[in-house]
Amino acid sequence: MDEFGEYAAALLVCTIILGVVRAAVVDTALARGVDEAAGRRTSRRLSLLALVATVFVVALAITLASPYMGVLAPAIYGLVLLDYARITQSAMLDKRAAVTLSAAWSVPTATAAVVSFLLPLAPLLLFGIWALGGAAVGYWHAIRSDIIAAPAWPRQPTESRAALWFTLDYAAGSGGAALSTIGLGAFLGAPALGALRGAGTVLGPINILSSTVRSLMIRRLAAMSLVGPKHELASAVRATIALSALLIGIAAVAVAVPDSIGVAVLGETWAVARPALPAIALEAVLGFVSSVPAAGHRAALAGRRTLVLRLATGIPRPVIVIAVGISAGVVAAAWAMAGIAAVNAAIWWASYVRMLRARLG
């Protein structure tokens, strides 16, 4: 595996680990709220999953002899702590603290990135600053906040069931998306893969905002559910309309990026990514539209229902996308993704409204 492949693999492993921990621990904590007993249970579960993740990455580092995995191994525990702290602080506690944590992690990384344009810095060094810097911030906050606890999985049936369903939901959703991309790359070659990943890079801000807002909406909708289903639905609709307008604006800017900037960011990949960009932008916005009712399902701890919906919407996706790609090319496949995202949004909203109506009796 070349150096870029090792970097991509380490970043992918980190992303998957953080996604699993969010699904299994963080989302449940957001839905249940904070009290002293729940906080202790969450801290112990967080410590357990972070420890398991560390052992897993150490094993990968040894097996693959990858220096990037070697850097990630001592960092992943702290990155898990940081991710938990940023989300919970934003959603339930102190938003200023969340901004401080993000800045403490981002400033050194951004500084190193700028310096790399002036001085030759090894990619491994930049990755180390990003991973170990984030871990240091995570450890620092955890020690100050006393959230490091003995690793264990406390027995609490409702939370444990939700954690299982949410983790399976994450695996199903991520798996379907990954199979679509990998399948197109396998059948259509590297240019197709470059088109999708290049467009995804340009639309990175939308994806970051979407994932962040979804976590915040879990806590918001859980709180509104105590007021009543009508208030919860109204809050979800208002948030979707307001934030969709913002994301549409960002998407429009991304689609209108001049070729000179696109080439500077993506290099030769820009030529294949540009035609697919409008479709991938639409898919990203529609993905956010789906994420709000999905957050409502998690706020209600409707884990089984969430997984059933995810499987129903996720399983056909790679089959349809790959079939369209083979018959009509990667741009058509990108539009197929957007069409599937629209159908998914309708299904998630229909389920959410039906669930709230059932609570009204």
Give me the pLDDT at residue 54, please.
94
Distance between CA 40 and CA 172 in Å, rounded?
29
> Binning pLDDT at 50, 70 and 90, where does residue 323 land?
very high
Give me the pLDDT at residue 238, please.
93
Lowest mean pLDDT of 48-57, 117-126, 162-171, 341-350, name the range.
117-126
Question: Diameter of the chain by CA atoms?
Answer: 66
Q: What percent of the chain has pLDDT over 70?
A: 95
Give me the pLDDT at residue 74, please.
93
Give the residue-averaged pLDDT of 338-349.
Answer: 94
Question: pLDDT tens-digit profile of 195-236?
Answer: 777 777 777 778 777 777 777 888 888 888 888 889 999 999
| Cα–Cα–Cα angle for 327, 328, 333, rounded to 5 degrees | 105
Question: pLDDT tens-digit profile of 125-174?
Answer: 888 888 898 899 888 888 887 777 788 888 878 888 888 888 888 888 77
Lowest mean pLDDT of 55-69, 155-169, 172-186, name the range.
172-186
Domain ranges of the chain: 1-154, 155-361
Give me the pLDDT at residue 317, please.
87
Q: Does the pLDDT at position 258 exceed 90?
A: no
Distance between CA 231 and CA 222 in Å, rounded?
11
Distance between CA 144 and CA 43 in Å, rounded?
14
Q: How much is the pTM?
A: 0.78
Give the residue-averaged pLDDT of 311-340.
Answer: 89
Distance between CA 103 and CA 142 in Å, rounded?
16
Give me the pLDDT at residue 33, please.
67
Burial class (CB within 10 angstroms; exposed 0-12, middle 13-18, buried 19+) of 117: exposed
Give the residue-averaged pLDDT of 277-304.
Answer: 90
Q: How many CB atoms lie within 10 A of CB 350?
A: 12
Give the residue-averaged pLDDT of 293-312.
Answer: 88
Q: 131 with 75: CB under 8 angstroms?
A: yes
Question: pLDDT tens-digit profile of 75-134?
Answer: 999 999 988 888 877 776 677 777 788 787 788 877 877 776 677 777 788 888 888 988
Q: Does the pLDDT at position 35 exceed 70?
A: no
Helix axes 229-255, 330-360, angle to 10 degrees: 170
